[in-house]
Structure 1
Amino acid sequence: MPGTISRCSRLIFDFGGLLMDTERPDEAEGLGLRLAVAGGSARSWPGPATSPRFEVLACGDEVAGHKPDPAVYRLALDRLSLPPEAATAFEDTPRGVSAAVAAGLRCVAIPHAYAQSSRFAHAYLVLTTAASVLPAEVLTRIVATAAVPR
């Protein structure tokens, strides 16, 4: 599995902690992934994104454009000194997926309950839930998807 991880992603962007109960940040950290938030909310929002587990917090009030503008993702990548191809974004809205893709990241969509799944066609991978999927499984699926011409 370590080879898969290094080929696939060194960073997971959390989508603002909105689905924190279904994400698995402890397991992602155990795989050696760096965690960051590229959120549209203001830095003053006292959500789970302020957890010390996140190496970088890039917020909507720090950039001129809002998602689907890729500025917040570019800011996070800059702070981490990472190129977009070294990162995978996790998003729960079509605008967030558009922002991540426009910044050059692979994006895994986990649509929220009120979103139409057809609006996530531009995501690299679409999951119905994160509750039953381990980070290692997601990375394996991303690598498998990368082998298929798009």
Structure 2
Amino acid sequence: MRLKKPYILMLEDDPDDRMITDSIASQLEVDIQFLYLTYSNELFSALESGEQPALIMLDYNSKPQNGLEILKKLKSNPAYRSIPVIVLGESASDPHIDECYQLGANSFILKPGTYDLTVHKIRTFLEYWFQVAEL
């Protein structure tokens, strides 16, 4: 896999979330590609087959391995440890969030319940990571 520009490796099985994310990235003219994965067991194969992503986004409830299991593997592997990892969750219980940060997540983002909030969060996320932060 050879991508022409920096990319986000995103473990997300919802096609609507993927479409919204692509649409907002296009509107913001962010110079980034998304490589979407549906199943957690695809993630390490994708990492091993190409350039490292600018960041990784994990769905907390991914299958067959959940986001925490993947996060542990990523952060215990020196080859991937420095890649920023953002965990996306559908519920924000303090123990889940704490565990993500203890395992090395760079951010935990609660998936919003409405379209407008989804657009706002994705826009804010992209602006921060690709216009403010240095990767």
Smaller-chain TM-score bracket: 0.5 to 0.7
Give the CA deviation at 1:91: 0.9
Q: Is the 8 A contact 2:13 2:38 kept in 1?
A: no
Q: 5 Å matches for 1:10-89?
A: 10-18=6-14, 20-21=16-17, 24-29=21-26, 30-40=29-39, 60=41, 72-79=42-49, 81-82=50-51, 84=52, 86-89=53-56
- Name the CA distance, whole Å, in 2 between partners of 1:126 and 1:17: 18
- Name the CA distance, whole Å, in 2 between partners of 1:123 and 1:99: 12
Structure 1's unaligned 5+ residue stretches are 1-8, 42-59, 61-71
How many residue pairs get aligned? The number is 106
Give the match for residue 107 of structure 1.
85
One-letter identity of the residue aligned with 1:12: I
Partner deviation per Cα, 1:91-122 (whole Å, 9 max, x = no partner): 12222333444433211111232862222102
TM-score (norm 1): 0.51
Deviates more, 1:86-95 or 1:20-29: 20-29
TM-score (norm 2): 0.55
RMSD: 3.4
Q: Is the 8 A contact 1:73 1:99 kept in 2?
A: no
Structure 2's unaligned 5+ residue stretches are 61-67, 113-117
Partner deviation per Cα, 1:118-139 (whole Å, 9 max, x = no partner): 221021122223623134x324
Higher helix share: 2
- Name the CA distance, whole Å, in 1 between partners of 2:8 and 2:69: 18
Tell me the percent identity: 9
Counterpart of 2:46 in 1: which secondary structure?
A: helix
